C-alpha cells in the first residue's frame, strides 16, 4: 500500500514538472521579467520564510549553502551556484522569480518550475533569501 502511494506521488511530481517546464524563461534574461519589481520587502521575516521554503524545495539540488552541490544534484548539468555572480537567466528579482516560478530552459538544466507547488509570496520570499546568500540585485 505504501509503495503505491509513493509511486503515485512520484508520477504526479514528474507530470507536474514536465508541464511547468513548457513555459521556462530563456537563457540570457527576460526584459519583461526584469521589469517586475519584488512586492515583498526583504525583511528578516521574509528572508527566514524564504530560508524555510528553500530547505523544503531547493536544498536537495542547490545544497545547504546554495553551491549547487545538494545530495540529489545532477552531475551534468550541475544546479546553479546561487552564491556566485554568474546568472545565466538574468539577475534581477523579477528574473529570479520567473526562473523559480517557471523553471529554466530544458537545454542545459533540470530546473523545474515551482508554479503550483509554491505560492507567489513563497517565491518572492525565496528571492529575498537568495539575495541574502548570493549577489545583490542588479542596479537598473
User: Is 93 inside any structural domain?
Assistant: yes
User: Residue with C-alpha cell 549577489?
Assistant: 135
DSSP string, 52-103: HHHHHHTHHHH-TTSSS--TT--SSSPPP-TTSS--TT--SHHHHHHHHHHB
Mean pLDDT of 96-108: 87
Backbone angles phi, psi at 39, to 5 degrees: -85, -5
pTM: 0.75
140, part of any domain: no
**82 falls within a domain:** yes
Question: Number of structural domains, the chain?
Answer: 1
Q: How far is CA 24 from the centre of its chain?
A: 12
**pLDDT bucket at 136, cuts 50 / 70 / 90:** low
Residue numbers of the domain that contains 87: 2-133
- Evaluate whether residue 139 is within a structural domain: no
Q: Is the Cβ–Cβ distance between 104 and 25 less than 8 Å?
A: yes
The CATH number of the domain holding residue 87 is 1.10.760.10
Amino acid at each position: 500500500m505504501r509503495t503505491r502511494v509513493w509511486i503515485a506521488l512520484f508520477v504526479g511530481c514528474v507530470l507536474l514538472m514536465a508541464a511547468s517546464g513548457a513555459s521556462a524563461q530563456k537563457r540570457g534574461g527576460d526584459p519583461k521579467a526584469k521589469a517586475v519589481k519584488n512586492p515583498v520587502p526583504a525583511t528578516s521575516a521574509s528572508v527566514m520564510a524564504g530560508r524555510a521554503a528553500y530547505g523544503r524545495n531547493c536544498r536537495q539540488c542547490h545544497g545547504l549553502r546554495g553551491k549547487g552541490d545538494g545530495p540529489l544534484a545532477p552531475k551534468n548539468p550541475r544546479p546553479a551556484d546561487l552564491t556566485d555572480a554568474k546568472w545565466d537567466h538574468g539577475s534581477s528579482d523579477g528574473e529570479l522569480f520567473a526562473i523559480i516560478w517557471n523553471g529554466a530552459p530544458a537545454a542545459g538544466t533540470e530546473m523545474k518550475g515551482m508554479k503550483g507547488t509554491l505560492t507567489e509570496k513563497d517565491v518572492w520570499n525565496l528571492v529575498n533569501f537568495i539575495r541574502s546568500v548570493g549577489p545583490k540585485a542588479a542596479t537598473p
